[in-house]
């Protein structure tokens, strides 16, 4: 029913576009000079709409129009990297907010001094996965460290994972209850009233693959278990897709091992201001706008090049 509803909306949207186009053609045939300014304005708006539709048409992957799971993991760099992971969390939450997407933090592990060690966020919205898959990889930050007494320049790394939120009845993914080890523990918190007195946090271990998923954001053990299963299914699907991609790449003679140091994007705040995507060479000097969630240009350039 979800697929049918999405297709119906898509068809209806194109019919409205066609109807609008036909109306403008009919008005243009009147050769009325008093309508010229209004027609030019309408045609310009129609061209912008068509360009957006052409771009959306490139998001034709099997899960591109689905919701997404976004996971951020602090990497090399100690406290600076944990702070960098928190900055990335803020950046993606702001990006999702500007698009009107719904976000939910499923699991979050705070850093010892600042920032976070890891966070998993569910992002719900049409084409959320299609856009966000351009963000998968290692992100590098270069800045003067606020945690260094000498205020020296530090380089920090964080890994961003993007997974499709596959439905529970996804045919490609089967999870046997016998393959899952379930551990229950108390959620970690900032202390006081934030500490859970009951054991509601869930840790799932998928025995055949060794994948471990934790979820501790909800007060309900059942809800945490359901969210953990969502993440586990997404990780299993990603693993299956990655194995298939590697097999194809090996057959083509193109396979190269992904290394931690091969960052996809650098965010330089010192000695100059620049954000550069190393896959597309697209860059901008407005680092603050990017960190505030202005990511569309980076996403679109990448998706156009890989379409």
Sole residue written with tokens 């090049």: 305
Q: Could you read off the pLDDT of 18-48 as tens digits, one per residue?
A: 999 999 999 999 988 999 999 999 999 999 9
Q: Do domains 68-165+264-306 and 177-252 have the same CATH topology?
A: no
Question: What would the mean pLDDT of 151-178 be, rounded to a whole number?
Answer: 82
Please tell me whether residue 205 adopts helix, strand or coil conformation: strand
Q: Could you read off the pLDDT of 104-128 as tens digits, one per residue?
A: 999 999 998 899 999 999 999 989 9
List CB contacts of 57: < 8 A, sequence separation 6 or more: none
- What's the pLDDT score for residue 190? 46
List CB contacts of 7: < 8 A, sequence separation 6 or more: none
- What's the pLDDT score for residue 143? 94
- Summary count for the chain: helices (H), strands (E): 7, 11
- Per domain, the residue ranges of the chain are 2-57, 68-165+264-306, 177-252
Average of per-residue pLDDT values in the chain: 87
Given a cut of 80, whether residue 222 has pLDDT beyond it is: yes
Distance CA(63)–CA(234), nearest Å, equals 11
- What's the pLDDT score for residue 240? 83
Distance CA(16)–CA(29), nearest Å, equals 20
195 CB neighbour count, 10 Å cutoff: 11
State both tokens at 254: 């193109």
Q: Could you read off the pLDDT of 285-304 as tens digits, one per residue?
A: 999 999 999 999 999 999 98
What percent of the chain lies above the pLDDT cut of 90?
57
Least confident of 2-6, 116-120, 278-282: 2-6
Q: Could you read off the pLDDT of 44-82 as tens digits, one per residue?
A: 999 999 988 888 888 888 889 889 999 999 987 789 999
Distance CA(19)–CA(64), nearest Å, equals 27
Q: How far is CA 120 from the centre of its chain?
A: 10
> What CATH architecture is 68-165+264-306?
2-Layer Sandwich (3.30)
Report the topology of domain 177-252: Double Stranded RNA Binding Domain (3.30.160)
Q: Could you read off the pLDDT of 78-93 as tens digits, one per residue?
A: 899 999 999 999 999 9
Please tell me whether residue 161 adopts helix, strand or coil conformation: strand
């Amino acid at each position: 029913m979800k697929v049918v509803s999405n297709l119906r909306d898509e068809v209806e949207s194109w019919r409205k576009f066609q109807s609008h186009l036909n109306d403008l053609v009919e008005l243009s045939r009147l050769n009325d000079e008093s309508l010229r300014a209004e027609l030019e304005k309408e045609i310009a708006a129609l061209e912008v709409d068509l360009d957006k539709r052409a771009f959306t048409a490139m998001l034709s992957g099997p899960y591109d129009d689905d919701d997404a799971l976004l996971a951020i993991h602090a990497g090399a760099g100690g406290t600076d990297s944990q702070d960098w992971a928190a900055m990335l969390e803020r950046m993606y939450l702001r990006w999702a907010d500007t698009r009107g997407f719904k976000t939910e933090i499923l699991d979050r592990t705070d850093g010892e001094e600042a920032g976070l060690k890891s966070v998993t966020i569910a992002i719900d919205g049409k084409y959320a996965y299609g856009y966000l898959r351009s963000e998968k990889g290692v992100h590098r930050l270069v800045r003067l460290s606020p945690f260094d007494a000498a205020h020296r320049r530090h380089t920090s790394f964080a890994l961003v994972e993007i997974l499709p939120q596959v439905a529970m009845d996804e045919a490609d993914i089967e999870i046997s209850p016998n393959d899952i080890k379930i551990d229950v523990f108390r959620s970690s918190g900032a202390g006081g009233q934030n500490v859970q007195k009951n054991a509601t946090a869930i840790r799932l271990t998928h025995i055949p693959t060794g994948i471990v998923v934790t979820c501790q954001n909800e007060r309900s053990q059942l809800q945490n278990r359901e969210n953990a299963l969502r993440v586990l299914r997404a990780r299993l699907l990603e693993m299956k897709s990655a194995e298939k991609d590697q097999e194809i790449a090996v057959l083509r003679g193109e396979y190269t091992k992904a290394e931690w140091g091969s960052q996809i994007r650098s965010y330089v705040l010192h000695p100059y201001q620049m954000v550069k995507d190393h896959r597309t060479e697209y860059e901008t000097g407005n680092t603050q706008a990017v960190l505030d969630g202005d990511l569309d240009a980076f996403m679109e350039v990448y998706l156009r090049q890989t379409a």
